[in-house]
Amino acid sequence: AQSVTQLDSQVPVFEEAPVELRCNYSSSVSVYLFWYVQYPNQGLQLLLKYLSGSTLVESINGFEAEFNKSQTSFHLRKPSVHISDTAEYFCAVSDGFGNEKLTFGTGTRLTIIP
Amino acid sequence: DTGVSQDPRHKITKRGQNVTFRCDPISEHNRLYWYRQTLGQGPEFLTYFQNEAQLEKSRLLSDRFSAERPKGSFSTLEIQRTEQGDSAMYLCASSSMTDRSSYNEQFFGPGTRLTVL
């Protein structure tokens, strides 16, 4: 069975400071990893994904995540956060290339302090 | 295309009543998923369809839960004899198996928040 652990339920960060949101997974098969973001009063949106190839993946708004197979991690990072990054971030794993069920972590609430 | 829509957005019901939620996926998306999200938790997978075929339903929480997608377009999720523990946000998502640009992405709706009194 697959599982995802997000150890940090809340992360407060000063504006323009760097941030890392941690995600660890367990799976007995090939994994496909995702970060979804939920802005206040909005639905879940895909932020970035790792399917294969380069272990470093990037989003259009400056976030990046690195797949580390030996540490079974897929941590999300951003070098300088903005107020608009305030949201809840969910890490997810799929064994079906993203087109079958997603197993989500419990989420990390990122709060940006002005 | 306005994205995945769900109706109603909020539902308050009394314990023991039946409720039905509707999900309209993005047009031409052939896969449709249902998830449940309780407070402080991530979404939990319930079931999914490819066109009208229900490919997995083992994660439906009990036999009180059922889902249909009769014509391969919209889907309904029904909960019979609701219990207070059913209070949650019910999320619907859809994806395309043919659009290469978004092949691996599930697009989520805004959810239906159920409160069982």
Strand residues in chain B grouped as ranges (E): 5-7, 10-13, 19-24, 31-37, 44-50, 53-56, 65-68, 75-79, 88-95, 107-108, 112-116
Rounded to a whole number of angstroms, the distance from the CA of A29 to the nearest CA of chain B is 17
Question: In terms of CA atoms, which chain B residue is nearest residue A48?
Answer: B105
Contact A37, A88 (CB under 8 A): yes
Tell me: the pLDDT tens digits for A48-88?
A: 998 888 888 888 889 999 999 999 999 999 999 999 999 99
Q: Is A47 on the interface with B (CB under 8 A)?
A: no
Torsion angle, alpha carbons of A66, A68, A71, A74, to 10: 40
Length of chain A: 114
Report the pLDDT value the prediction gives residue A98, as an integer from 0 to 100.
61
Mean of the pLDDT values across residues B14-42? 94
Work out whether strand B31-37 and strand B19-24 pair parallel, antiparallel, or are unpaired: unpaired
DSSP A32-94: EEEEEEE-TTS--EEEEEE-SS-SEEE-TTS-EEEEETTTTEEEEEESS--GGG-EEEEEEEE
Q: pLDDT band at residue A40, thresholds of 50, 70 and 90?
A: confident
CB contact at 8 A, A47 and A37: yes
Angle in degrees, CA B68, B37, B17, rounded to 5 = 55
**CA-based nearest residue to A81, from A55, A57, A110:** A110
For B49-86, how does the pLDDT look when each residue is reduced to its tens digit (9 = 90+)? 999 999 888 777 789 999 999 988 999 999 999 999 99
Q: Are the C-beta atoms of B39 and B49 separated by less than 8 Å?
A: no
Buried b (16+ CB within 10 A) or exposed e, A79-104: eebeeebbbbbbbbbbbeebbbbbbb
Is the CB of B108 less than 8 angstroms away from the CB of A45?
Answer: yes
What letter represents residue B66's amino acid? S
Residues B98, B87: Cα–Cα separation, whole Å: 35
Which residues in chain A are contacts of B67 at CB distance < 8 A?
none
Whether the pLDDT of residue B1 is over 60: the answer is no
Whether A42 contacts chain B with CB within 8 A: yes
Can you tell me the mean pLDDT for B28-55?
A: 92
CB < 8 Å to A9, chain B: 40
Instruction: Check residues A90 and B39 and name the one with the higher pLDDT.
Output: A90
Least reliable range by pLDDT among A51-60, B17-26, B37-46: A51-60
Smallest CA–CA separation between A32 and chain B, in Å?
A: 9
